[in-house]
Amino acid sequence: MELEPHLTKIFIDNEYVDCRNDKTISVYNPATRELVSDKIPVGGQEDINAAVKAALKACEHGSPWQSMTGQDRQKILLKFADILEANQEYLAKLTRLTLGAPYRPFGKSEIDTAIGCFRYYAGWTDKYAGQSFPADDGFYKIVRNEPLGVVAGIIPWNGPIASVGLKAAPALATGNVFILKPSEKTPLAAAALGKLIIEAGFPPGVFQVVTGDGTTGALLASNMQVAKVSFTGSIATGKAVQVMATKSNMKRVTLELGGKSPAVVFDDADLENAVKWTVNALTTNSGQICFAATRVYVQAGIYDKFIEAYVEGFKNKMKMMGNPDDANSEIGPVVDKAQYDRIMNIICTAQDDREGTLLAGGSSLDSEKGYYIQPTVFCNTRPDAPIYKDEIFGPVAVINKFESERDVVRRSNDSRYGLMAGVFTQDINRALRVSSRFDSGVVGINCISHIHFSCPFGGTKESGLGREMGEHALRAYTEPKTVLINMNY
C-alpha cells in the first residue's frame, strides 16, 4: 500500500526530512501478511547528530523553549493532548496496520494512556517545587530541580503511543528536549506525530522523531550529548543500553524490561472477578503486554471451579478474535512472523517436552492469512519449565495449584522478574499482607495488569531500573542542584 510521504521521513527541527542513511526497513500487516511499506527510514549517525544538534540549540539559554514559563509549557502540552485525542482513530489505524491490535479494547485505550499522561504532566509544569532550609547554621540552603537537557526515549512496539506519553510527557513538562526512537515494528503512528507537534506549538528541536532499528537506538544510548535514555524492551537489550550509557557519558537510564506477573487467587476470592481480570490480562493485545498475568496460582479449594471458568472465559474471548479492522474484534494477531514463530515454537516445545498439561488453545488460526494464535493455557507445569519461568510475550499462561499463603508467596517471588503481581481475596488483612511480601514494583488487589499515569510504574530485579509515571518520573528527568547562600558574608 502507499503511505503518506511524511510517514517515510524523519522529523528533525520541526521539519520532515529525508533520512541521510540509505538503509530502510520493511513492515507488514500481521493480519494479512501483506507488505505495508519497504521504505521506513533507519536513522544513522548523521541523522542522530542532526537531531542532537537541533535539540542542543533548543535548550540553550534564551531559546524559545527555555524562555517559556511553566504555564507556557503547560498550554502546549494540553494542546498536544487535545490534538492526540482529535486524531485518536487515525493514530490507532496507523498502529493497527503493523501491530494488529483492534481499536477496542486496546487501540483506543493505548492512546488514552498517552493523552492522560500529557494532561497529567501539564499540571506539573509550574508545581514541581524544590526545597529550602533555614539559615540556622549561617547558610541559607536551596535545592532546585533542573532539567537534564537532551533526553531520548526508545519505545517498544506493543504500546507505540502510550509509551510516548510515559516518556515524553514528564521530560517535556520539566523543560527537557526529547528525541523519540520508535520501534521498527510499529513506527507509523510515531512518524505521524511531527505534524501534531508543530500544530501544538512546540518550538523547533524540542520534540523530534527518528525512526530506525537497534542501531539507531544504540547511537542515542552512546551519544555523548544525550543526558538520559529511557528504554522499554527486552532484558538483553536493556542491559546493552545501560552498558552503552555508562561507557559514553554516564547518562541517566530508566529501564522497563518486562515480566512474568503472578496472579494469586485465594479460596475466598470473588471467582467471577478473578476470572475476568486474569483472562483479560492475557488476551488484551494478544498477550503482548509486559505486565500480563501469565502465572496464575489458585488455591486448592476453588482450583477446579476456577479452571472451568477460566477456560470458558478463553472460549468466549476466542469468539471475538478476528480481523482487527472489524469493529466486533477484540483479539488480533501477534505482531509479526518472528513473534508468531517464536511463540508457536514455545507452545510446541512445551507440549513435546511435557512441561505441563495443555488445557486450552495451543494452535494457530488462519495461519495462511495472518499471525493468529489461540489463547493458550497450561496447568500443572514443572517449576523448571521454560513455559513457567520465561516471559513469552504472547497469549500463553500457566495455572498451578497452591495450598498455603507462605508457599504461594515464595513461588511468586521465585522469578528473575518483578514488574507486577496480583492477589485476589476478600480478606483485606491477607490482601495487604501478601501485597507487602510480593517482590514486585506494582501490586493489584482484586485486579492485575493495570497501571495509572498518576502512580509510579516499574519493576524490581531484572524487570528494570527506575520508575515511569507519577511524580517519580519527574525525578528521572531532573537533576537536583543545591545552592548554598552564606548569610554571614
Q: Which residues are catalytic?
A: 256
Please write down the HEC assignment for all residues of the chain.
CCCCHHHHCEEECCEEECCCCCCEEEEECCCCCCEEEEEEECCCHHHHHHHHHHHHHHCCCCCHHHHCCHHHHHHHHHHHHHHHHHCHHHHHHHHHHHHCCCHHHHHHHHHHHHHHHHHHHHCCCCCCCCEEECCCCCEEEEEEEEECCEEEEECCCCCCCHHHHHHHHHHHHCCCEEEEECCCCCCHHHHHHHHHHHHHCCCCCCEEECCCCHHHHHHHHHCCCCCEEEEECCHHHHHHHHHHHHHHCCCEEEEECCCCEEEEECCCCCHHHHHHHHHHHHHHHHHCCCCCEEEEEEEHHHHHHHHHHHHHHHHHHHCCECCCCCCCCCECCCCCHHHHHHHHHHHHHHHHCCCCEEEECCCEECCCCCCEECCEEEECCCCCCHHHHCCCCCCEEEEEEECCHHHHHHHHHCCCEECEEEEECCCHHHHHHHHHHCCCCEEEECCCCCCCCCCCECCEECCEECCECHHHHHHHCEEEEEEEEECCC
